[in-house]
């Protein structure tokens, strides 16, 4: 061990744990994180609810959620030697939406707000690594590993147990002074830090998120059926979307923000402190027809470094076809759908045929 690291190790022992925790939180805020809490490496309390979720099949095709349950419940099995977990969040709104208002813009391609800019996973991990380096410069070497939705981690449960907010009835984390438009990240560490305490829940009798869900995916408070959820259907699911859910999807082509937009706590939502979440390629104002004319190369070019890559080109076109079917009648839409009928795989073609039929039905009722 070098003289420098010996000195650092001694300084770690001499540091007051509460003072070190406060200093770490200060460094996190300076890096652009909106909040930072210290969590126990223990998520056992989440396991019964999660097992019931899996038992009901609400996870759909996301079979990876069935794996590593022990590691999810006990983070020390995922990263041995973990003594404390630094949980952080990043706000991703570019502008605060009107409270309790879901816009109705049927020809616009709606992309979830978190996905309009750069892929947050890379931003989050990069800044967590920087935070680890800053801490090491002060206290010396320790074990650390950053995560951003990238491993079997009950990240909401960990953050909730350390007071970052409470789980809303839509299953997302809500912060009393910041709403829910944020993403989470964790730094598993071997540091012996004092833990923060849980926050209290403040949803009360409100059912706004349950009532607004276009496909009624929130089947009961705190329980979401992903097989009906627009975020799952338009991002994770690669097959033919059930016909009885297509109209509910509307013009949402990647994810859905409706349950958050209607939540009264998001009247306190904060905007992002970094520019990485700013929309790229006009993805906040793109029409369905504009996107429908993208070929695969355009898709790959315009989604480089973007969360949109996750869905893949054909599934993205499937989603847009549904949006076009749900749009007000337009001869231009029918023409565009007909022209591209054979340009896509069989799954997309099923949705094109449905969209054309929907448009023709609207024409006949004019």
Binding site for tRNA, by residue number, is 238
User: Does the annotation count 149 as an active-site position?
Assistant: yes
- Phi, psi dihedral angles at 189 (to 5 degrees): -135, 160
**21-32 burial string, b = 16+ CB within 10 Å, else e?**
bebbbeebeebb
Tell me the binding residues: 72, 149, 167, 173, 184, 203, 206, 209, 213, 229, 238, 256-257, 259, 263
Report the distance separating Cα 233 and Cα 320, nearest Å: 12
- Supply φ then ψ for residue 170, to 5 degrees: -85, 0
Annotated binding residues for [4Fe-4S] cluster, written as ranges, equal 203, 206, 209, 213, 229, 256, 259, 263
Q: Pick the catalytic residue: 149, 284, 290, 353?
A: 149
The beta-strand segments (E) located in 250-297 are 252-254
CA dihedral 35, 38, 44, 45 (to 10 degrees): -50
Using CB atoms within 10 A of its CB, is residue 162 exposed (0-12), middle (13-18) or buried (19+)? buried
Q: What angle do CA 156, 157, 162 make, to 5 degrees?
A: 100
CA distance 167 to 6: 43
Half-sphere exposure of 174 (CA within 13 A, CB side): 25
Binding residues for cob(II)alamin, by number, are 72, 149, 167, 173, 184, 256-257
Residues identified as active-site: 149
């Amino acid at each position: 061990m070098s003289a420098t690291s010996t000195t650092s190790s001694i300084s770690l022992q001499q540091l007051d744990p509460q003072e070190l925790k406060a200093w770490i939180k200060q460094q996190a805020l300076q890096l652009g994180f909106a909040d930072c809490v210290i969590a126990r490496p223990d998520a056992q309390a989440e396991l019964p609810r999660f097992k019931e979720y899996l038992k009901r099949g609400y996870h759909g095709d996301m079979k990876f959620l069935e794996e590593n349950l022990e590691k999810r419940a006990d983070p020390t099995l995922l990263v041995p030697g973990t003594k404390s977990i630094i949980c952080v969040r990043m706000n991703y709104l570019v502008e605060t939406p009107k409270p309790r208002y879901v816009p109705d813009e049927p020809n616009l391609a709606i992309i979830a707000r978190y996905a309009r800019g750069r892929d947050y996973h890379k931003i989050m991990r990069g800044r967590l690594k920087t935070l680890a380096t800053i801490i090491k410069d002060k206290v010396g070497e320790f074990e650390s590993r950053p995560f951003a939705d990238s491993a079997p981690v009950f990240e909401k449960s960990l953050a909730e147990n350390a007071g970052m907010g409470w789980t809303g009835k839509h299953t997302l984390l809500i912060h009393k002074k910041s709403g829910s438009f944020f993403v989470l990240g964790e730094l598993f560490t071997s540091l012996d830090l004092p833990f923060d305490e849980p926050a209290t829940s403040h949803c009360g009798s409100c059912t706004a998120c349950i009532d607004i869900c276009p496909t009624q995916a929130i089947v009961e408070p705190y329980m979401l059926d992903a097989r009906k959820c627009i975020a799952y259907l338009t991002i994770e699911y690669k097959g033919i979307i059930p016909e009885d859910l297509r109209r509910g999807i509307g013009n949402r082509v990647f994810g859905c923000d409706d349950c958050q937009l209607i939540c009264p706590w998001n009247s306190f939502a904060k905007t992002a402190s970094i520019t990485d979440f700013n929309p790229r390629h006009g993805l906040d104002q793109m029409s369905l027809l504009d996107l429908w004319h993208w070929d695969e190369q355009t898709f790959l070019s315009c989604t480089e470094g973007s969360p949109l890559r996750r869905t893949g080109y054909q599934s993205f076109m499937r989603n847009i076809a549904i949006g076009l079917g749900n749009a007000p009648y337009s001869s231009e839409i029918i023409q565009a759908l007909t022209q591209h009928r054979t340009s896509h795989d069989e799954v997309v073609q099923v949705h094109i045929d449905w969209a054309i039929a929907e448009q023709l039905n609207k024409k006949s009722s004019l």
